[in-house]
Structure 1
Amino acid sequence: MANVIVFAPICFEQGMAGSKRLGNLSKDIPPRYAVVNLFAGMNGKKTRGHTSLSFSGFVEFYHQVVRLKRDYEMAYFYYYGYPTIQNIHYLLLVHLLGYHLILDIVEDYRVVRGLKKGLRWKIKINVSLLLLKLSRFFPISYVGISEPIIQWLNNYIADAQRIICIPVSVDSELIHRIKKKEVTAGDRLTFFYGGTFAEKDDILILLEAFNLLVKSYSRGVKPRLILTGKASADKISPVTEYIRVNELQESISYLGFLSDADYYHAIHHADILIMPRNNSDFSNTGFPFKLGEYMATGNCTIVARIDSLIGLIHDDEVVFYQPSDIQDLKERMLEASSSEHLRREVGKLGRKRSLYHFSSKNHSKKLIRFLEA
């Protein structure tokens, strides 16, 4: 093999959004390219696959990238994230060694800037934005996850030929291997949410809407809501308190963080998958990571009508609701739960859209065409 693509700085097997994005994108890279997942020593996180940000970590990284550059004729370095104070010396080393650097931008730091307070946070974000702007003077390519981010990059970098949009990727082979459940009369309808319980997820709006939905059932089997995901205690506490105060313990279950196998099993065996978002700039510029997987199951998906989805996903492929609108979300949940025909048709068209537009195989081909152009 004459070429290599190095994906960094996250281990493919971590299971979080970034690792899934890199892992899915790398799965169908043509065999004429070697694929390397390099994740040691780059950002100081003590999570799986990372070493501390130290001199020894930099030396370890140096030896790996030098060896790879020596072994391959053409070397690409695909980096998930912004240039930062912590990683700039790594990225400069890669550039000086002759790698073609690609930055994968999944968040608009202009809107991220206001999500936290404190001087250190503001300095970190502003420095990253400055480094990104300066990067246009180097032979670097850029990948954006949504059209709003692509539009911003076009203005910020001022060279559209170096920028490409690749939204979330779905491992379609894995989705195909998982069998859907067989629905029988009298089954309890299941709604599913999976996420980080972050502010953008509007989780309390979802709970309010679901509570109204449950109250609308005067008879029959009431639906249930499954909540999953990894979140800190300060994010989970309001959720558990809401469930307790409104006596929803029989209707809402929090399962915590699921393994990949359990997660895929859960989304296939739910009836309606919910992707809530608020109406913030952060939500409107980003792209919901799990949306492609939700749609690929063939189950009905309810999603907030945020800017990054407009024109990309059609009204008959998901059930849209207005962000942060409790009543509208409740009505869309009631509409979907009341009509098996609607759920089946939306699920079928949503799956078709996902397996084409979010296919990891198509995205890998798109990336290679972009790099070889």
Structure 2
Amino acid sequence: MGSDINVVFMGKFGYPSGMASTKRIQHFLDYLNLNSASTRVLQLRPTGEVPDEDLEGSYQGTPYRRIGADLKLGFSLLPALFRYHRDGIVALKQWRVPQVRNVLYSYGGVTVENLLFILAAKRMGYFVVFDIVEDSTYIDDKLSLPGKLRWLAGEVLDRFFLGLADGVVVISNYLRKLYGKKVALSVPLCLIPISAKCEAQGVGEREPGPMRIVYAGSFARKDGIEQLLDAFEKVQEKKGNCTLMLCGTGASVKLYQPRIAANPAIQYIGYLENSAFYRFLQGADVLCVTRTGSTYANAGFPFKLGEYLATGNPVIVSDVGDVRRYLSHMEDAIIVEPGNVTAIAGALEYCLDHPETAAKIGRSGADKCRRYFDPAANGRLLLQLIRRL
């Protein structure tokens, strides 16, 4: 039976490999492909050098195309901008399927980078769905001037072009309330939280040796890396018998390199591909999501929390956003005050002193992950939204 739904996922996320945004999109793709929808991915402005042979391809049954890899400040910018918009509009024309429901799924909403594509898609008869995963008004990282201009433009575009949306997906209750006030009552709005494939069978006895404390993700200010380092050093000085392992990428990594280099008990692993990444998480004794208490951190919902819980290992998580909507303190996770070094250190020390109780908390966290963050359940919500358009 042919598909009656054709969905093009568009955004500035890595594809087919990448971190949180990529995995959110991939879980949606997996579900839609299993349910006879046709899917495509239009990746905007991939980072780094992209060989010509990698500009398009297919991954797990989904064709993808990358555009804008050559967009750089300089004399070549204007012709590169022309090619960027031409290539994106051509892709949308080629991928549009007659006599079916065509949907453009815009990760991150409307931006300077995708506005013309959204306008073109509307003219071609696509329904447009925005996936809102953050409130950029409250970004607390220091941005370069071009970065500040992009975020300011995003705010203006959000205000004037949100009406282009035929449906809106949000990742948190905060964003549901915020966008519930912004969009028309006739526009369906759906909360779809993080997702994680939970295959944990329970964690066995901890291997002898130092307790392996793990953080994996980005290194932005909202991620509370500085507070985690402070807490770890307090516990290490008091108790010993622990190591901190950091994994991931981000422009801010260099800020922490001197502290990492100065302490042999802290290891920076770098970026890991998917299979190695999940083995790395599974091998942890304790996983940490120590976000700050900023409004920006509270607006979203950390994707890594789902991946951590899915391992069945104990998780220390800051009390931000929707955390307590899904998890109970000392039952499914150890929930700490955001940015509180003493609270983080106390949680780490508790895991050192009470490994059996910590392991029980980890198993309960995996149960909650299966209950609330099942990728199939989230995919079903998206498909239901699309059918309502």
Structure-1-length-normalised TM-score: 0.88
Work out the CA distance in 2 between the residues paired with 1:135 and 1:141. 13
Work out the CA distance in 2 between the residues paired with 1:33 and 1:161. 22
2:230 is the alignment partner of 1:214: no
User: Which residue matches 2:249?
Assistant: 230
C-alpha displacement of 1:330: 0.6
C-alpha displacement of 1:210: 0.8
CA distance 1:45–1:93, shift in 2 (3 Å): farther
2:217 is the alignment partner of 1:195: yes
Alignment counterpart, residue 133 of structure 1, candidates 159, 166, 176: 159
Work out the CA distance in 1 between the residues paired with 2:304 and 2:310. 10
C-alpha displacement of 1:21: 1.2
Work out the CA distance in 1 between the residues paired with 2:165 and 2:336. 42
C-alpha displacement of 1:252: 1.3
Work out the CA distance in 2 between the residues paired with 1:117 and 1:262. 31
For residues 250-261 of structure 1, the aligned pairs below 5 Å read 251-261=265-275
For residues 1-20 of structure 1, the aligned pairs below 5 Å read 1-9=3-11, 10-20=13-23
User: Which residue matches 1:51?
Assistant: 67
2:32 is the alignment partner of 1:31: no
Work out the CA distance in 1 between the residues paired with 2:169 and 2:37. 19
Work out the CA distance in 2 between the residues paired with 1:287 and 1:47. 31
Alignment counterpart, residue 280 of structure 2, candidates 266, 275, 290: 266
C-alpha displacement of 1:207: 1.1
CA offsets 1:229-281 (integer angstroms, 9 cap, x no match): 1133xx33442322455xx31x2111111111111001001111011111111
C-alpha displacement of 1:201: 1.4
Aligned residues of 1:82 and 1:104 also touching (Cα < 8 A): yes
Work out the CA distance in 2 between the residues paired with 1:241 and 1:271. 25
C-alpha displacement of 1:182: 4.7
Q: Secondary structure at the match of 1:310?
A: helix
Q: Secondary structure at the match of 1:77?
A: strand
C-alpha displacement of 1:167: 1.4
User: Which residue matches 2:346?
Assistant: 331
Stretch deviating more after TM superposition (103-112 or 126-135):
126-135
**Given residue 319 of structure 2, which amino acid in structure 1 is its aligned partner?**
R
User: Which residue matches 1:152?
Assistant: 178
**Given residue 236 of structure 2, which amino acid in structure 1 is its aligned partner?**
V
Work out the CA distance in 2 between the residues paired with 1:169 and 1:184. 27
Work out the CA distance in 2 between the residues paired with 1:127 and 1:140. 22
| Stretches (4+) displaced over 3 A | 42-49, 114-123, 135-139, 178-185
CA distance 1:135–1:263, shift in 2 (3 Å): same
Query: What is the percent sequence identity of the aligned residues?
Result: 22
**Given residue 226 of structure 2, which amino acid in structure 1 is its aligned partner?**
L
CA distance 1:162–1:308, shift in 2 (3 Å): same
Work out the CA distance in 1 between the residues paired with 2:260 and 2:354. 27
User: Which residue matches 2:72?
Assistant: none
User: Which residue matches 2:311?
Assistant: 297
Work out the CA distance in 1 between the residues paired with 2:387 and 2:153. 31
Work out the CA distance in 1 between the residues paired with 2:350 and 2:39. 46
Work out the CA distance in 2 between the residues paired with 1:47 and 1:128. 26
CA offsets 1:316-346 (integer angstroms, 9 cap, x no match): 1110111111111111111122212222221
C-alpha displacement of 1:72: 5.0
Q: Secondary structure at the match of 2:322?
A: helix
Aligned residues of 2:6 and 2:101 also touching (Cα < 8 A): yes
Question: What CA RMSD, in Å, does the superposition of the two structures yield over aligned residues?
Answer: 2.3
CA distance 1:184–1:288, shift in 2 (3 Å): closer
2:256 is the alignment partner of 1:242: no
Work out the CA distance in 1 between the residues paired with 2:323 and 2:307. 15
For residues 294-373 of structure 1, the aligned pairs below 5 Å read 294-315=308-329, 316-373=331-388
Aligned residues of 1:45 and 1:51 also touching (Cα < 8 A): no
CA distance 1:47–1:353, shift in 2 (3 Å): farther
Work out the CA distance in 2 between the residues paired with 1:243 and 1:119. 29
Alignment counterpart, residue 119 of structure 2, candidates 92, 99, 116: 92
CA distance 1:116–1:243, shift in 2 (3 Å): closer
C-alpha displacement of 1:55: 2.4
Work out the CA distance in 1 between the residues paired with 2:149 and 2:230. 37
Work out the CA distance in 2 between the residues paired with 1:214 and 1:139. 51
C-alpha displacement of 1:122: 4.2
CA distance 1:360–1:186, shift in 2 (3 Å): same
Aligned residues of 1:195 and 1:228 also touching (Cα < 8 A): yes
CA distance 1:139–1:13, shift in 2 (3 Å): closer
Q: Secondary structure at the match of 2:117?
A: helix
C-alpha displacement of 1:184: 5.3
Work out the CA distance in 2 between the residues paired with 1:344 and 1:213. 19
Work out the CA distance in 2 between the residues paired with 1:184 and 1:100. 51
Aligned residues of 1:179 and 1:268 also touching (Cα < 8 A): no
Work out the CA distance in 2 between the residues paired with 1:290 and 1:44. 22
C-alpha displacement of 1:47: 6.0
User: Which residue matches 2:60?
Assistant: none
CA distance 1:179–1:264, shift in 2 (3 Å): farther
C-alpha displacement of 1:131: 2.2
Unpaired segments of 5 or more residues in structure 1? none
**Given residue 85 of structure 1, which amino acid in structure 2 is its aligned partner?**
V
Q: Secondary structure at the match of 2:343?
A: helix
Unpaired segments of 5 or more residues in structure 2? 56-65, 69-79
C-alpha displacement of 1:22: 0.6
Work out the CA distance in 2 between the residues paired with 1:154 and 1:184. 46
